[in-house]
């Protein structure tokens, strides 16, 4: 490669890298700043809603140990139910095959924590945050609900929901006994927020309603008024 060509390549590569970093930074600030007012870390301040949407994650970490995030989200959902902050729960997660089923794992743990099974609905097609949020509206007929997840994830879920004009709040679930609310920002989540911005700007939110739950509606007080 000629020296002049190499210099041009380095210059354009540097500009491209700077532009990408700027897009990631600005999209993350937009997602967080536009949703922070709807994120609650104290259940006492959280507004009451008919339904809580519990965002799925694996019960196990990559090393095979129990996931603090999974149990933190489920315990938080059970607490909100028992405190009267929500009356019913949708557990939304992935169920790609017979060996992996996030919603059923969440249901079992909620029942163990004292939540009646009749008040828990499983959504088996929540493969992504976008799917879970859009299906809450398109499949379950909700316009108002509470999102239950860890703090770093709640901003993105709120962003997608608010851009769909849904009246939502989120509760940041403690993820371990020290009360950590998920303040860390995993690299995957940082880039996922950028993708969420791009999806909102260029694609819109298209729910997955291909399974047999497409006709299910929740007969909530909010929907009757």
- Mean pLDDT per block of 10 residues along the chain (225 residues) reads 76 88 95 96 95 95 88 96 97 90 96 97 94 93 96 95 95 68 69 92 62 44 40
For residue 134, give the 3-state DSSP assignment.
helix
The dihedrals phi and psi of 164, each to the nearest 5 degrees, come to -95, 10
Q: What pLDDT is attached to residue 177?
A: 44
The dihedrals phi and psi of 91, each to the nearest 5 degrees, come to -100, 115
Strand order across the beta sheet in which 39-40 lies: 39-40, 167-172, 144-149, 51-55, 88-92, 120-123
Tell me if the pTM is above 0.75.
Answer: yes
Q: What pLDDT is attached to residue 23?
A: 94
Dihedral over Cα of 51, 52, 56, 60: its sign: negative
Q: What pLDDT is attached to residue 200?
A: 87
Task: Please give the Cα distance from 17 to 219 (Å, whole number).
Answer: 50
Task: Please give the Cα distance from 135 to 207 (Å, whole number).
Answer: 6
Domain count, the chain: 1
Task: Please give the Cα distance from 71 to 150 (Å, whole number).
Answer: 11
Residue 32's domain comprises 3-224
Q: What pLDDT is attached to residue 213?
A: 46
CB-facing half-sphere around the CA of 162: CA atoms within 13 A: 19
Type and span of the H or E element at 40: strand 39-40
**CATH number of the domain residue 197 falls in:** 3.40.50.620
Q: What pLDDT is attached to residue 185?
A: 61
Q: What pLDDT is attached to residue 184?
A: 53
For residue 122, what are the CA distances in angstroms to 53, 106, 197, 205? 10, 9, 28, 21
Q: What token pair was written down for 69?
A: 């995030």
Q: Where does residue 40 fall: left (phi above 0), alpha (psi -120 to 50 degrees), or beta otherwise?
A: beta
Tens-digit pLDDT profile for residues 86-135: 999 999 999 888 889 999 999 999 999 999 999 999 999 999 999 999 99
**C-beta separation of 91 from 123 below 8 A:** yes
- Round the average pLDDT of the chain to a whole number and report it: 86
**C-beta separation of 133 from 146 below 8 A:** no
Type and span of the H or E element at 88: strand 88-92
Q: What pLDDT is attached to residue 96?
A: 86
Dihedral over Cα of 27, 205, 128, 48: its sign: positive
């Amino acid at each position: 490669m000629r020296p002049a060509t190499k210099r041009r390549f380095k210059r354009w590569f540097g500009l491209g890298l700077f532009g990408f970093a700027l897009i990631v930074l600005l999209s993350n600030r937009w997602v967080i700043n536009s949703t922070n007012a709807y994120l609650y870390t104290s259940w006492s301040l959280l507004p009451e809603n008919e339904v809580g949407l519990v965002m799925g994650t694996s019960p196990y970490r990559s090393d095979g140990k129990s996931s603090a995030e999974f149990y933190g989200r489920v315990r938080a959902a059970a607490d909100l139910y028992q405190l009267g902050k929500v009356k019913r729960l949708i557990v939304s997660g992935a169920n790609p095959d017979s060996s992996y089923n996030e919603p059923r794992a969440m249901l079992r743990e909620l029942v163990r924590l004292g939540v009646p099974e009749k008040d828990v609905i499983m959504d088996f097609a929540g493969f992504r945050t976008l799917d879970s949020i859009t299906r809450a509206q398109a499949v379950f007929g909700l316009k108002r609900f509470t999102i239950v997840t860890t703090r770093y994830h709640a901003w993105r879920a709120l962003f997608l929901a608010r851009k769909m004009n849904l009246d939502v709040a989120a509760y940041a679930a403690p993820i371990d006994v020290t009360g950590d609310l998920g303040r860390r920002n995993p690299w995957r989540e940082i880039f996922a927020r950028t993708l969420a911005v791009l999806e909102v700007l260029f694609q819109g939110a298209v729910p997955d309603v291909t399974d047999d739950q497409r006709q299910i509606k929740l007969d909530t007080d909010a929907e009757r008024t």
